[in-house]
Each structure stands twice: as C-alpha cells, then as structure tokens.
Amino acid sequence: MSISLNVNDETYEVDLAPETPLLWAIRDAVGLKGTKFGCGVGVCGTCTVDLDGIAVRSCSVPVGDAQGTQITTIEGLGNEEAPHPIQQAWIDEQVPQCGYCQPGMMMAAFAMLKTNPEPSDEDIRAQMTNICRCGTYGRIFKAVRRAAEQASSTSD
Amino acid sequence: MPDRADKSVLEMRRRSFLLGGGGLALGLAAGGCTKLGFGAQEAGPGNKIGAFIEIGNDGHVTIVTPGAEMGQGVSSSLPKIVAEELGADWAKVEVRLSGVDPAFNNPKGRQRSANSDAVTSYFEPLRKVGASAREMLVAAAAARWQVDAATITAENGVLTNSENGQELNFGDVAEDAAKLPIPDEPKLKDAKDFKLIGKDGPRKDIPAKVFGTTVFGMDLVLPDMLYAAVKHVPIAGGVLAGFDAEAAKGMPGVREIVPLENAIAVIADSYWQAQQAVDTIELKESPGERVDTDELMKTFRAALGDDDNTLPFPVGGTFDNLIMSAEQSEIDKLLARGPIKFEQEYSVPYLAHATMEPVCATALIETDRCEIWAPTQAADRIPPEVAAAIGLPESAITVHRTFIGGGFGRKNERDFIIQAALIAQAKPGKPVMLIWSRQQDTQHDYYRPATVVRSRAALKSDGTILAIHGRAAGQTLTTGVAMRWEGFADATIVGGMLLPDYDMGTARIDMVEVPVPIRTGYWRSVSLSNNGFFAEAVINDIAAQLGRDPLEYRLALLRDNPRAEAVIKLAAEKAGWGKPKPANVGRGIAFTHAWNSHCAQVVEVTVTGKQVTVNRIVCAFDCGTQVEPDNVAAQIEGGIVFGLSAALFGKINFRDGAVVEESFADYPVVTMANMPEIEVHTIQTEGEIGGVGEAGTPGVAPALTAAIFDATGDHIRNLPITNAGYEVPQ
C-alpha cells in the first residue's frame, strides 16, 4: 500500500503494509538509519522520533497512522554543518559512549524542551525515560541543562 | 589441551583473573612488537605508512584503530597514542576502524576487545608505530633538503628544519616516506613531552554518534540485501526437534525458511516481515532437561557441602610463583580453632548483558568466499570459526567491523555471526542481515553465571584473620577457553574471591562445579562481577561482626599497599565518611583491585521503609597513566551504573527450561529515575598503566549492601536487592 510520509520536511511515498512500524519505514523505506531498533516493544526509547511535536516511540506507531503527520528524526534535528543546540550540548558534555541510545535520547530531550524549556531535575528524571546501558545519564543531565540554558540565553 | 592461540589467551587472562590483578603489571609489553602494524603496503588514495597510518599528499592523516569501539573510546584512545609519537595534528586526524588482520594483533597475538586491556596492551606497540612513521617522514624530508635527519622536528603535521626554519607538511613527503624501510627501534618521546596523551580532547567518534551517522551493525545498506529473523528453541540446551512453518511460508516478503540446530530462521525482504513470519512458526518440543533457577540455587547451596568434589585455586603470588590454597584438612583445623568464627553464605543470580543494540550480523556467501559485517569484540575468531561452520578455508572469509551498540562481553561471542553465515547459505550471492528481536536477545544470551559462595573465617578479637575459606558452587563458563588448568577451579568463576591485598592468614579458595546446560559467558568484569561482591561483602560482614568500622578495618587488613590505601582513603574522604548523617541514610564502602587498577567506592543510600534511594556513589580510581582523562571518568561512571543495575535489579530466571524475562520491561536497569550522583576522583600513579572499562563495576554491589546495612541493620547477601523485598524508584 502506498503511504505518504513527511520526514524532516521531505515527502516520501513508501510501499508498505500499514501496520508496519514507523521505525522500519524510516530506516528501510526512507533510508534514514539514525533512528535505532532497541526493543520493538516501546520500552527502551532508542526509536524515539518527533511526530507532530510529540516524542513517540516509532517502533510502536503503525506507519499507516503516521500519514499526514510531520516527523522529525535525528537527521532532521541537525548535522555537522548546522548542529542543533541539543546536539552541540551532547558534544560539549561528551555524552555518548557506544552512542546507540543517543539519537532517541536527544529526540526525547528535544520534545521535552519544546514544551518545558526550563525543566527541573525532577522534570528531567520523569520525562527522560529512555534507557542507556553505557550509563551516560549524569552527562545527559548536564547536556540537557546546558541546552536549556543556551536556549533561554539566546531567546533573551 | 588448549591450542597455541588459546594458550596465549590463557596467559593473558591468568594475569587478570587469577589473582584479582594483584601485583602484576598487565600493560607494558616488554620489547613489544616492533613490526606491529607493518603489513604489506597497498596502493591507495593515501600513502600507507604501515598498516595503521595513511597520509594523503594533501596532508590528511588517517589512523585506524585495531580495537572494537563499543563505547569505551578505543576509536580515540588508541589512534591518539599513534598520533602522539607521529607528531600529527590530532584535531585534523581522521580515525577509522581497522580491518581484521594479524597486523592489528596486540602483543599477545589477539585482535579483540575484552579484559580492559586495549590501552594497556597496545600502549607501547602503538607508540612504536607512530614513532617509526615519524622517523620515515623525517628521513624523507632529510633527503629532500639534503640535511641530517637530526636537524628536523615533526609536530602538528609539520616538519621543520630547526636550523633554517624551512617547513614541509607531512603530505609533501608522504609518498617518499611510504617507500622507505621501516625503522626497527624508533626513538620514543619522553612522557613529559606528551602533548596529547593525558590531555582531554573530544572523542573522535562522538560527532557522528550525535548526528546519527555512525554505522552500527544494522545500519549497513548493501545491494540485493535480504533480512533474517530467528526463533531459538526456548529451553537451555535444547535442539530443534521439528517445526510447523506452513503459516510463515505464505506471508509477505518471505523468501526462505532455514532450520538450524537449535533455531529456525526466516529470510525475507525486510526484517519486520521476517520477524512477523518467524513469530508464527511453531516449534516441536525439544527433548532434554528443563532447568529452573530456584531449583538450581538449592542444588548449588547443597553442593557447597560436597567436600569430596572440590577444585582448589591459588590464593595469591605471581604467575611464576603462585601461592596455592591450603589443604582442606589444614583449613578445617584452623577454622575450628577460632577463637572467633565467621560463616556466611552469599549468592548472585544469572545476568543478561542487555546491550542497547540487539545482536545482529550480516553474511554474504559465495561459492568460494564469505563476507561478514558485524558488531564484534572478537574479530580474530571469526575467520576460523565461520570457515569451520560453512566449510571454506579461513583465507576465504573477509570480516568488516562496524561500531558496536554496547558489548559488555556479549559481542565477544560468535554464535550470532556463525548463525548469520549458516542462514545466508540458503541465499548464496545475496547479503543476509540477521537481526535478533529483543526477546531473543534477552532469552538466548551467554549469561553471567549464578554462583553461591560460603565463606568461613577464623578471627582473633583484634580482627586479625587467621584463616579464611571461600567456596563457590555453580556452573562454569560454557564459552571460550576454560580458564582453568588441570586440577584447578575455573578462574572465570573464582578469580578474585579473596583479595591478596589483605592479610588473611592461611587461605583456601575452592569450587564445586555443577554441570548446567545454560550458556554462560563473559560479562563486564567477568569473575569480579560476582567476586567483587563476595570478597568485599565478606570484609564488610566480618567488620560488622567485630563491631569495627568497615573503612578502618579494611585499612588495618591491608598489607603494605600504598595504591590500595590511597584509593580507599580518597573515596572515604570525598564521601564524607564518618560525618554525621540522618538515621535513615547509610554508607558502605568496597574496594576492587584488578586489571592493574585500584578502585574504591562509597555508596550512600536513603532507606525509608522498604524504599531504597541511591543518593550518591563516590569513587576513587587509579589506573596510572590516563590517555584521555575525561574518558576514564566516563568509563568509571558507566561501569558503576552497569554494576548498580545488576545490584538493584538484575536477575534472569529460568522456568521449565526457558528464560522468563523478555525485554527491559521485565529485566529493569538503571534509568534517569534512579540514577544517583556519581563522583569520580582519580589518582595517576606514575609508571603504572591499568585497565578502565570494567573497573567501576565490581565494587558497587558490596558497597550498596553495606550502605543498606548501615541504614537498617539488614544484611542482604543474595542479590539483587529488589529480591530481598526492597523497592527502588523506577
């Protein structure tokens, strides 16, 4: 079935069964590999993308339901030429170790900071539920705070 | 009898596991391999200066890392050692993962990342690699300028004639340099002249990881690629006894059904289609025993009393001069005499690795060759093992390494890679990417084995340990080389059970082995993952029995051991040991000595009813020379979180032969919700270099249980703590 997807401001026509998880549509049909497969059951968050402004676990969203939405993946957040402040904060704090969870982690931070630009520590703990097995949470805290401060200082 | 390659593995592992790392300098390869890294020079866009370095005519320097990048930073730290001696402009150096070739072996003849020995084993050899290349560039410049090489310095990618200030870039002479003979004994820098080693620089692999462009095992795109999913026979030790795949055959995208010895696979046009199809396949019940972990623990406990079937283990000394365990009869006599007697039992469960990246590998089979792409820690084992599995010569197997989304020992195994090759045989000429579901990854791991330990000691009232006996019961590792010599217990289970750092009088370590069909393997810190707990919980419990402060008691027990004393005191000081605290706050301390590194940790908890909050973990760590100080801290932070997950939650259950847990939903790990503050303070003992990647893990569990005891008076001797009725915010 032909499904129209808007990913990072570009339109893709993908030929997939509508119940195919959005994760695999993004990775295979659209060809963007930054969004990762971690558990397939919505528990770990490595597949997190921004869908119409909300952080969703793309392994648990059927691609048919994503038609007509605007999806942002890590590739759409920023790149080497134009890093997003969250990505810059992640580099400045030297957050990643293996790096596998980090795209999803950054997308979760992106969604949180849009609706909660000055999160408290409790907010960060409650809203950043993605799993990191390398244990980079301490640096994630610092990077989120750094990105939040950056955003609030540039908006002043 | 282990073959020659296995013997070198044995030797290397002996040093780390046998004696808990006591006293042996793991790192500095005396003499080194001066020819390390100088394979045949191939033509390419850049000028190859040996196997590790490529310098373009434009001066662009590429350095390959022989290590497997799984988060521990070898894609930065190892090339940095080369760049230091080479005199390259590190900010502009590009780093790539090396291929798989004996040119990239460490001095023990292995190209694999495990045992926290990347920096320690490659440090001197890679210095020589960089220094040799520098001398070749200098020689080329000397020839160009017709001057003595001694007048030329190399720094930041520039060669300077110190007499007249003339300059050449590395790129200007790289082509000439590549033709020169490789010096045998290049001159190395003085450590005091290091510009890169010991200084923080941003890790080379981080930007790509932040922009989402790093190629992990599943990110490969190859022409005509197909995908496979697998369903293993659920029971440990089971075999495929039959299957019904009728429903799967007709499903969208399905190309092949591939039966294997202990699993069934489906090849399809996409992973998701393959997974949907394999989920419908019904497996006939496999014959064989059905393990149950509750029953196993009872069996292990009963086995502790089996005096007639024990295997002893050395209790100290050096590799060339081992101190053997005392005989059973001697220990029994001493223990009976007391005057104060200590006896406790402890246990740890089976643990999964639970890497974020589920196991995956890609294989392409053609008539006379095979190509493998995989996230692998043990690249050098792949050619011989895949060759044996598919019936091709070793030389026909080409291995491409990808970045690894978490290893911790799981990706040291080759089961999933061999499996990919066997599956791909059903579709010759097409690359087949095998991806395991999270459920399969959780349920068909090489688990860290469960062990029960009984510890008995005879003490004097002043706290002197006159005699001590630690006995383990459980299964041994089923993977790799059995870490044991004839008549000795398995080092991967008992290594580190008693720390030679302490004065413990007459000592005995032994084990009763119980055969169990569960697949077990190396899990971050290996024998220290269980013995870090057993060894230090015993010290904490003896201190408690004697009414002694566990910090003061440890310091009193230490033999003349400045590095151990320094980290223990530093951790305690930074943690505010002894300072007043609320009644429901507890502090515990533990010490680790392994991989030639010393680590002490203080864990602080608040316990309210049955709710445990880990407030803070303060760590003092000494690995001697640090290549990248910030990364050392990051590795210790990460190792601590890894150990904390296990201590709080980690438990794999087998019921009726199969693993119960399926994903992070029922095998929880530390998250932001329960992440403590972690402080790492480092000491850099001069002239030493030790391992980092695993060192943070062993001390967490004993320090945690001691902290809970401090707050509540409750002893937890069976991990995880959530099994003892405690709850942790999630």
B71 and A98: CB-CB below 8 Å?
A: yes
A91 and B202: CB-CB below 8 Å?
A: yes
pLDDT band at residue B16 using 50, 70 and 90 as cut-offs:
very low
Give the model confidence (pLDDT) of B660-718 as tens digits. Answer: 999 999 999 999 999 999 999 999 999 999 999 999 999 999 999 999 999 999 999 99
B26 assigned to some structural domain: no
Q: How many CA atoms lie within 13 A of B182 on its CB side?
A: 22
All residues at 6 or more sequence positions from A9 whose CB lies less than 8 Å from its CB, including other chains: A70, A76
Q: Among partner residues B71, B212, B673, which is closest to A103 by beta-carbon distance?
A: B212
Per-residue model confidence (pLDDT) at position A31: 97
B664 and A137: CB-CB below 8 Å?
A: no
Instruction: Report angle CA B109, B126, B10 to the nearest 5 degrees.
Output: 25
| Contact indicator for B263, B257 with CB cutoff of 8 Å | no
Residues B418, B382 share a domain: yes
Residues B134, B239 share a domain: no
B637 and A135: CB-CB below 8 Å?
A: yes
C-alpha distances in Å from residue B515, one per residue of B286, B476, B518: 19, 8, 9
B5 assigned to some structural domain: no
Last residue of a domain, one of B435, B457, B487: B435
Q: Among partner residues B73, B212, B270, which is closest to A75 by beta-carbon distance?
A: B212
Residue B452 CB: number of other CB atoms within 10 A?
26
B297 assigned to some structural domain: no
CA-nearest of B704, B337, B709 to B541 is B709
B74 assigned to some structural domain: yes
Last residue of a domain, one of B415, B435, B455: B435
B11 assigned to some structural domain: no
What is the spatial distance between Cα B225 and Cα B395, in angstroms, rounded to a whole number?
24
B637 and A136: CB-CB below 8 Å?
A: yes
A96 and B205: CB-CB below 8 Å?
A: yes
CA-nearest of B382, B336, B346, B618 to B474 is B346
Does residue B255 register a pLDDT over 80? yes
B487 assigned to some structural domain: yes
Residues of B in contact with A39 (CB under 8 A): 358, 438, 663-664
Residues B308, B183 share a domain: no
Give the model confidence (pLDDT) of A130-139 as tens digits. Answer: 999 999 999 9
B638 and A134: CB-CB below 8 Å?
A: yes
Q: Among partner residues A91, A130, A140, which is closest to B207 by beta-carbon distance?
A: A91
pLDDT band at residue B46 using 50, 70 and 90 as cut-offs:
confident
The number of domains in chain B is 3
Q: Residue type at A60?
A: S
Domain boundaries, chain A: 2-76, 85-155
**How far is CA B615 from its chain centroid?**
27
Q: Residue type at A113?
A: L
C-alpha distances in Å from residue B663, one per residue of B263, B294, B391, B522: 20, 21, 35, 20
Return the number of CB contacts < 8 Å for A and B: 175
Q: Residue type at B238?
A: G
Which of B148-162, B479-493, B578-592, B635-649 has the weakest average pLDDT? B479-493
Residues B704, B622 share a domain: yes
| Contact indicator for A102, A96 with CB cutoff of 8 Å | yes
Residues B617, B518 share a domain: yes
Residues B245, B121 share a domain: no
Q: H/E/C letters for each residue in chain A?
A: CEEEEEECCEEEEEECCCCCEHHHHHHHHHCCCCCCCCCCCCCCCCCEEEECCEEEEHHHCEHHHHCCCEEECHHHHCCCCCCCHHHHHHHHCCCCCCCCCHHHHHHHHHHHHHHCCCCCHHHHHHHCCCCCCCCCHHHHHHHHHHHHHHHHHHHC
Does residue B40 register a pLDDT over 60? no
Does residue B5 register a pLDDT over 90? no
What is the spatial distance between Cα B618 and Cα A49, in angstroms, rounded to a whole number?
35
Residue corresponding to tokens 């990913």: A7
What is the spatial distance between Cα B256 and Cα B266, in angstroms, rounded to a whole number?
6
Choose the mutation target among B72, B97, B251, B272 for the interface with A, i.e. most A CBs under 10 Å. B272
A39 and B202: CB-CB below 8 Å?
A: no
C-alpha distances in Å from residue B424, one per residue of A112, B149, B274, B362: 43, 55, 14, 8
pLDDT band at residue B35 using 50, 70 and 90 as cut-offs:
very low
Q: Among partner residues B207, B406, B670, which is closest to A98 by beta-carbon distance?
A: B406
Give the model confidence (pLDDT) of B426-473 as tens digits. Answer: 999 999 999 999 999 999 999 999 999 999 999 999 999 999 999 999
Residues B570, B677 share a domain: yes
DSSP assignment string, B685-723:
-TT-B---TTTTSTTHHHHHHHHHHHHHS----BS-GGG
* Residue B339, preceding peptide bond in cis (omega within 30° of 0): yes
The sheet carrying B47-49 orders its strands as: B47-49, B53-55, B61-65, B94-97
pLDDT band at residue B39 using 50, 70 and 90 as cut-offs:
very low
pLDDT band at residue B13 using 50, 70 and 90 as cut-offs:
very low
Check if CATH label 1.20.140.10 holds for domain A85-155.
Answer: no
CA-nearest of B404, B314, B435 to B18 is B314
Residues B235, B207 share a domain: no
Choose the mutation target among A37, A49, A73 for the interface with B, i.e. most B CBs under 10 Å. A37
CA-nearest of B145, B206, B220 to B176 is B145
B294 assigned to some structural domain: no
Share of chain B residues as helix, strand and coil, in percent rounded to the nearest 5: 35, 25, 45
Per-residue model confidence (pLDDT) at position B483: 58
Does residue B205 register a pLDDT over 60? yes
Residues B332, B247 share a domain: no
Q: Among partner residues B214, B630, B670, which is closest to A99 by beta-carbon distance?
A: B214
Per-residue model confidence (pLDDT) at position B23: 19
Residue corresponding to tokens 């080379």: B204
Does residue B657 register a pLDDT over 70? yes
Q: What value of ipTM does the predicted structure carry?
A: 0.98
Choose the mutation target among B203, B204, B210 for the interface with A, i.e. most A CBs under 10 Å. B210
Does residue B44 register a pLDDT over 50? no
What is the spatial distance between Cα A39 and Cα B33, in angstroms, rounded to a whole number?
43
What is the spatial distance between Cα A22 and Cα A9, in angstroms, rounded to a whole number?
16
Range(s) of the domain holding residue B253: 217-287+359-435
Q: Specify the pTM.
A: 0.94
B219 and A100: CB-CB below 8 Å?
A: no
All residues at 6 or more sequence positions from B286 whose CB lies less than 8 Å from its CB, including other chains: B233, B235, B238, B239, B240, B241
Per-residue model confidence (pLDDT) at position A93: 98
A128 and B405: CB-CB below 8 Å?
A: no
Does residue B63 register a pLDDT over 90? yes
3-state secondary structure of B537: helix
Domain holding B367: CATH number? Answer: 3.30.365.10
Give the model confidence (pLDDT) of B231-249 as tens digits. Answer: 999 999 999 999 999 999 9
pLDDT band at residue B481 using 50, 70 and 90 as cut-offs:
low
Check if CATH label 3.10.20.30 holds for domain A2-76.
Answer: yes
Per-residue model confidence (pLDDT) at position B45: 61
| Contact indicator for B203, B73 with CB cutoff of 8 Å | yes
Helix axes B118-145, B74-86, angle to 10 degrees: 30
pLDDT band at residue B33 using 50, 70 and 90 as cut-offs:
very low
Residues B486, B577 share a domain: yes
CA-nearest of B342, B352, B339, B391 to B370 is B391
Residues of A in contact with B630 (CB under 8 A): 94
What is the spatial distance between Cα B47 and Cα B173, in angstroms, rounded to a whole number?
10
Chain A (101-140) residues lying within 8 Å, Cβ to Cβ, of chain B: 101-103, 106, 124-126, 128-140
Last residue of a domain, one of B384, B415, B435: B435
Residues of B in contact with A99 (CB under 8 A): 71, 205-206, 208-210, 214, 403, 405
Residues B481, B399 share a domain: no
What is the spatial distance between Cα B597 and Cα B501, in angstroms, rounded to a whole number?
12
B10 assigned to some structural domain: no
Residues B343, B366 share a domain: no
Token digits of residue B642: 């890894």
Q: Among partner residues B357, B641, B675, which is closest to A100 by beta-carbon distance?
A: B357
Mean of pLDDT values over B392-409: 97
Per-residue model confidence (pLDDT) at position B516: 97
